[in-house]
A and B are shown apart, each in its own frame.
Chain A
Amino acid sequence: MRRRTLLKLGATSAAVLLVAGGAAALLQPGLEGGALSSAGREVFAAIGRAILDKSVPAEDGPRQIALNGLLGRVDALVQALPPHAQGELSQLLSLLASTAGRRTLAGLNPPWPEASVAEIQQALQGMRLSSLALRQQAYAALHDISTAAYFSDEASWSILAYPGPLKI
């Protein structure tokens, strides 16, 4: 039953894989056991620092703590998704983590950990305004998951000047 979802996304992104002669079977899944795999973490760590660039602390130490916190919250968010959504996200992250997928789907040349914030933001902008549904959908998933996860925790609420729940 998972197979049909995979095949559907696979068909849409067949061109992506063919470009570099990749094969879906060789890719590492983006999620493992309902949480980010190492491949998935690599993608979200890079996406997080680009999307939340001005919202995470500027200094290295606190910035790293905030971005690690983000990955933990993405895991919590992913765990609550139904199986079909986990399956699609896993495949999206898997593609993005591959060299071929990163170059064609995201339009990013350097590997995720080495790419600058500006390079990743440029790639995101390309996906956001792309005429290909798959690239737009990928952008929306990355944007919505990283921002929803980051602001789900009270540690981030000072940016919003949000006082938090009332005591009842």
Chain B
Amino acid sequence: MSQLKDPIREGIAGGWKVSGGALGPVAEKIVCDVAIIGSGAGAGITAELLARAGLQVLIVEEGPLKSSRDFNQKESEAYPSLYQESAARKTQDKAINILQGRCVGGSTTVNWTSSFRTPATTLKFWQDKFGLNDYSVEALAPYFAQAELRLNITPWLAAPNENNDLLRRGAARLGIPAATISRNVRACWNIGSCGLGCPTNAKQSMLVTTIPAALDMGAQLLTETRAERFEFANGKVRALICRSVKPNGALAHAERAQAAIKIIAKHYVLAGGAINSPAVLLRSGAPDPHGRLGTRTFLHPVVMSSSVFAQKVEAWSGAPQSIYTDHFLDTQAIDGPMGYKLEAPPLHPVIFASTVPGFGQGQHELLSSFPHNHTLLALLRDGFHDQAPGGRVLLRGDDSAVLDYPLTDYVMDGGRRALLSMMEIQFAAGAKQVFPLHEMAQPYTSWAQAREAVKALPMKPRLIKVVSAHVMGGCGLAGTERQGVSRPDGVHWQLDNLSIHDGSLFPTSIGANPQLSVYGAVNRLAQGLAKRLTGRDVTLA
């Protein structure tokens, strides 16, 4: 357990209005100015700005409030407490495993800190195809700059760890440009456990920045409380109905035995993240005249290549993802064959062992290589081509959300090319062996052998290992009602006291790790909302 100062525990001791779960029962009826669903990237930025405008803000979070004293770098505690579905959320056909946060701070509490502004090519596509004329590099620049200042987003200046330097060296030997990633950290200890909650409060997640700022200004936080559905009347949201949940997401008491928590607000902000935000609207029977709700949900499907080096790599140690290359995004048309971004993820025992394919002797040999293992991942840029329309959020019989995401041949072609690119870089960096994560692959000891083998592998769902940590879309922004769920100002096209302020707004994937895209876009939307509701101009501290 971290012995460092814990700003969250201090805040609670100092009188923050926090309830739910272990923090005490939630009132059955709450009246406020603005109810925000979620506490991640979009919710955090919105909460701070609206509280700064003098509004009474209520934040509703399904996950628990955990903080640095709880963050002990153990996957066995982090996954069940901080991630959706205990880090085992899957698409409907179980071909893609999805990592998404479910705790105060949302995915920002557990992400790997990679920060990129929305690429210019992505914004251009939104302007051209979705009528989002205000979404230009120039128009968004000041909002990105404010978020970067607030969250200390700067290029990582320390030397990359060996895991990332291998990407840099391998790419350089092939003449492929690679660059340093900006990170949202302050006085980072370079430990490498960002994905398990930052034990030193160095990561400038929503948990330690905007949410505490909002609570200091009198905002109220409900934890372990699920936003179940909205009630509507006359084209407006009339109430938000919530329920207390157990740590695994089950209702805390049988529905009949549990009084609903009813929240009445002047305005509602849905920021539960992609998959969950559309699901709240689906459960509510929200108007959806053009059948857009939950569709075009994107994942940046990730394929991976594992490799073994003679020297120690210790991919668990040091800042994760400090080097990247966009070579395979920049060298082809955005709507041509699928492009991909390459990064070097951190590895910890559970995520490594469960990702290593196979069993018995072969699995054991790969497991034993752990300290020498270097894995690259490719984020496939979905949403820019007819054959990459993303997935659709559905409700199961128990009203929980599930994403149906077909892995089309077009996407899988990108996956194959990405495996080839990653393996070539790994051999160029000096790998003794590479192993593309596919159930029919073998360890390969030369680039020629690996290339021929991967060209012949069937690129089929569940044979190739696909994961995602970037869920986007489902409540897409569009300049016309026919094309999307949300107006360019973030307000729902059919419900004018409901705004959507999270990654579910994006009409395509981003083509980069999305956290800063959420911060920048929502910073502008929330400033606009504050002005509309109060007449006041506010900015992030």
Residues on A close to B: CB < 8 A?
1-5, 34, 50-55, 73, 76-77, 79-86, 117, 121, 124, 128-129, 133, 136-137, 140-141, 143-144, 147-148, 150-153, 156-157, 159-162, 165-166, 168
Q: Which residues of B contact A144 (CB under 8 A)?
A: 88, 354
A81-B88, A133-B462, A152-B75 in contact; A162/B349 too (CB < 8 A)? yes
Can you name 24 A-B residue pairings with CB atoms under 8 Å?
Answer: A1-B398, A53-B364, A54-B360, A54-B364, A55-B363, A55-B364, A73-B76, A80-B80, A81-B86, A83-B250, A84-B400, A85-B88, A86-B248, A121-B360, A128-B439, A133-B462, A136-B462, A137-B94, A140-B94, A141-B94, A159-B364, A160-B370, A165-B73, A166-B73
Do residues A80 and B248 form an inter-chain contact, with CB atoms below 8 A?
yes
Interface of B is mostly: loop
Do residues A150 and B353 form an inter-chain contact, with CB atoms below 8 A?
yes
- Asked whether any CB of chain A lies closer than 8 Å to the CB of B85, the reply is yes
Assembly CA distance A83 to B367 (angstroms): 31
Contact of A137 among B85, B399, B439, B462 (CB under 8 A): B462
A31 to chain B, nearest CB (A): 12
Do residues B371 and A54 form an inter-chain contact, with CB atoms below 8 A?
no
Q: Which residues of B contact A137 (CB under 8 A)?
A: 93-94, 462
Q: Which residues of A contact B4 (CB under 8 A)?
A: 168
Assembly CA distance A84 to B401 (angstroms): 10
Q: Which residues of A contact B397 (CB under 8 A)?
A: 1-5
Q: Which residues of A contact B463 (CB under 8 A)?
A: 129, 136
Assembly CA distance A151 to B352 (angstroms): 9
B80 to chain A, nearest CB (A): 3
Tell me the residues in window 363-405 of chain B with beta carbons closer than 8 Å to chain A beta carbons. 363-364, 367-368, 370-371, 396-400, 402
Do residues B440 and A51 form an inter-chain contact, with CB atoms below 8 A?
no
Q: Which residues of B contact A124 (CB under 8 A)?
A: 359
- Contact flags (1/0) for B456-470 with A, using CB distance below 8 Å? 000000110000000
Beyond A55-B363, A85-B88, A128-B439: 7 further Cβ-contacts under 8 Å?
A2-B398, A77-B86, A80-B79, A84-B398, A84-B400, A137-B94, A168-B199
Q: Which residues of B contact A52 (CB under 8 A)?
A: 359
- Asked whether any CB of chain A lies closer than 8 Å to the CB of B337, the reply is no
Do residues B398 and A53 form an inter-chain contact, with CB atoms below 8 A?
no
- Asked whether any CB of chain A lies closer than 8 Å to the CB of B528, the reply is no
For chain B, the bracket of interface size reads: 35 or more
Contact of A148 among B2, B316, B354, B398 (CB under 8 A): B354
| Total residue contacts A-B, CB cutoff 8 A | 135
- Asked whether any CB of chain A lies closer than 8 Å to the CB of B234, the reply is no
Q: Which residues of B contact A143 (CB under 8 A)?
A: 354, 359
- Asked whether any CB of chain A lies closer than 8 Å to the CB of B333, the reply is no
Assembly CA distance A20 to B76 (angstroms): 40
B375 to chain A, nearest CB (A): 14
Assembly CA distance A77 to B80 (angstroms): 8
- Contact flags (1/0) for B350-363 with A, using CB distance below 8 Å? 10111010011101
Assembly CA distance A138 to B135 (angstroms): 44
Which residue on B lies nearest to A160, using beta carbons? B370
A80-B86, A148-B354, A152-B76 in contact; A53/B359 too (CB < 8 A)? yes
A156 to chain B, nearest CB (A): 7
Closest 7 CB pairs of A and B: A4-B397, A80-B80, A165-B73, A54-B364, A1-B398, A151-B353, A152-B76
Do residues B85 and A76 form an inter-chain contact, with CB atoms below 8 A?
no
- Contact flags (1/0) for B209-248 with A, using CB distance below 8 Å? 0000000000000000000000000000000000000011
- Asked whether any CB of chain A lies closer than 8 Å to the CB of B72, the reply is yes
Assembly CA distance A54 to B356 (angstroms): 14
Do residues B354 and A54 form an inter-chain contact, with CB atoms below 8 A?
no
